[in-house]
Amino acid sequence: MKAKIVTLPGDGIGPEVTEQAVRVLDAVAARGGHEFTYESALIGGCAIDATGNPLPDETLAVCKSADAVLLGAVGGPQWSDPTAPVRPEQGLLKLRHHFDLFANLRPVKAYPALAHYAPLRADLLENVDILFVRELTSGIYFGPRQEQGDGDSAHDTMLYTVEQVQRAARVAFEAARQRRGKVASVDKANVLASMRLWRRAVTEVAADYPDIELEHVLVDACAMHLLRRPASFDVVLAGNMFGDILSDETSVLAGSLGMLPSASLGVGSFGVYEPIHGSAPDIAGQGIANPVATILSAAMLLRHSLGLDDDAQAVEAAVEAALASGARTADIADPNTEPLSTSAFADRVLAHL
């Protein structure tokens, strides 16, 4: 397998965790006889500083030539003014919209070795293995809006079409066929017209998947159920904003936001892979960030863009083995345990790989 991977390290801890994920990809290439080449480009705050644009044209051009993109994180206090006309997160939104990456996959797994780091009882975490499918290029983040909220009113519009809902729904139902055969579709159909359309569109797709159990769940109820009975969920399908919030909420089940990867996919094999955590500027440059989410994002890259499922499973197993052996970064370490650095944790993953 030959593949070109573009890395967009971004800001804060992004470059640190991306570096470790590339080390793991290199190890996968060596053990499997693959040839991975890399090209790095700017995105986010560092791109604003260098070019005035959070997603420069040069970055887009490089991404177009790639089989997949591995992204670190964007943002930081120096670019945090929400009223600024140019902001780091605009680069992410533009990247997703340009490549029409309409389905965001966010797996959440509770590792037994980390059960006591989660704020829930350990028995609630048994067998927790959830896949969020978040619609990524529509909804309130992309609908018509009043750009600046500096007057007496402002608005953002949650706009969906049947086609936009149904293509994300098909991703969820197909994923459920490879898992435990259940889809929970999240909406607010009792209040919002856009969510009544969402429920109708998902129900129509479900007719093509009689082997899959569909449950409609109101978003507020879902937020509660994810903490009271998380193991009952298999695939959770949600709109852009609800999926964003609920998957971040559910990160506590894994013990740390630093544990969760994501894949942003469209039609075809190209995808953008990134941890769901932010740039963590408070610990940037200290070499203590948790690289697990980015390493697992690289595993998703292997699976979804390169078709290397066996290699992806090997990386995931190596991460789990490292955790089971006691490897810990500061965010998941006991107070009386000496945490590993970002690179030292990756060393442990590589040893198990």
**Catalytically annotated residues:** 141, 188, 220, 244, 248
**pLDDT < 50 positions in the chain:** none
Three-class DSSP category at 321? helix
- DSSP H or E segment with residue 132: strand 129-135
Q: Based on C-alpha coordinates, what's the Rg of the chain? A: 20
pTM, rounded to two decimals: 0.94
Calpha distance 239→246 (Å, rounded): 10
- 186-240 pLDDT, tens digit per residue, is 999 999 999 999 999 999 999 999 999 999 999 999 999 999 999 999 999 999 9
* pLDDT value of residue 149: 56
* pLDDT value of residue 148: 63
* pLDDT value of residue 143: 87
Report the CATH superfamily, name and number, of domain 119-143+157-254. Response regulator (3.40.50.2300)
DSSP-assigned letter for residue 339: P
CATH 2.40.50.140 fits 1-101+261-353, yes or no: no
Sign of CA dihedral 139, 141, 142, 143: positive
DSSP 19-68: HHHHHHHHHHHHHHT-EEEEEE---THHHHHHHS-SS-HHHHHHHHT-SE
Domain boundaries, the chain: 1-101+261-353, 119-143+157-254
* pLDDT value of residue 113: 87
Calpha distance 260→41 (Å, rounded): 23
